[in-house]
Amino acid sequence: MADDSSEFDGLNVENSGDFAAVPDAFQRLWTPHRLVYVQDQTQPDEHSCPFCTAPGLDDETALIVARGEHAYVLLNLFPYNSGHLLVCPYRHVALYDEATADEVNEIASLTQTAMKVIRSVSTCDGFNLGMNQGRIAGAGIAAHLHQHIVPRWALDSNFLPIIAETKALPKLLGDVRREIAGAWPA
């Protein structure tokens, strides 16, 4: 390791000036524990997909907050923030351009409703919305289309997840599910 490198609880941070390529302003945080996401190329089929399995379970067990005709909304089991929701079509389809017009319309409608509900129950300051399309784009479950709705607060950014590999979530998933489901319009 170069002299100007630092180590934080086993995570190595190196100065970009030490690399053979043209230096840039970025520092590199090496996280080899995330290599599994790059190397593991297996994707679930309809029989092993958690997004295909969830609608067959009761809402509380599956963390489902709302069901539509073509899509449903559930809490992310590994949330970035409290209230991190996913909107999934019932059909096992991988990419947005493979979704039907009805699925796309309902995903959009459920996303708008989710934003309104989350804002009303958590007074968040903003949202990150997104779909990672394919493994190369960062989709953990690339085989089943899903949209992320991540509520954000002005002061929710910190280094705890990076340095301590810990995410502080102030509410339990079950409590968040009940709160959002209870505020969802009929």
Q: Would you call 84 a catalytic residue per the annotation?
A: no
Model pLDDT, residue 48 = 80
Distance separating alpha carbons of residues 24 and 17, to the nearest angstrom: 7
Q: Kindly state the average pLDDT of the residues 22-30.
A: 60
Phi, psi of 177 (to 5 degrees): -60, -45
**pLDDT tens sequence across 60-95:** 999 999 999 999 999 998 888 899 999 999 999 999
Better pLDDT: 46 or 71: 71
Give, in order, the Cα–Cα distances in Å from 26 to each of 22, 70, 99, 118, 124.
11, 43, 38, 34, 30
How is the chain split into domains, by residue range?
A: 6-30, 50-183
**120-171 pLDDT, tens per residue?**
999 999 999 999 988 888 788 889 999 999 999 887 765 555 555 666 677 8
Give pLDDT, residue 5. 47
Alpha-carbon gap, residue 47 to 50, rounded angstroms:
9
The upper half-sphere exposure of residue 137, i.e. CA atoms within 13 Å in the direction of its Cβ, equals 12
Q: What is the pLDDT of residues 100-127, one digit of tens each?
A: 999 999 999 999 999 999 999 999 999 9
Determine the topology of domain 50-183 in CATH.
HIT family, subunit A (3.30.428)
Q: Which is catalytic among the residues 70, 84, 146, 148?
A: 146
Cβ 71 vs Cβ 106: under 8 Å: yes
Helix (H) / strand (E) element for 163: namely helix 160-163
Residue type, 51: F
Note whether 142 and 94 are within 8 A (CB).
Answer: yes
Extract the tokens encoding 43.
């994707």
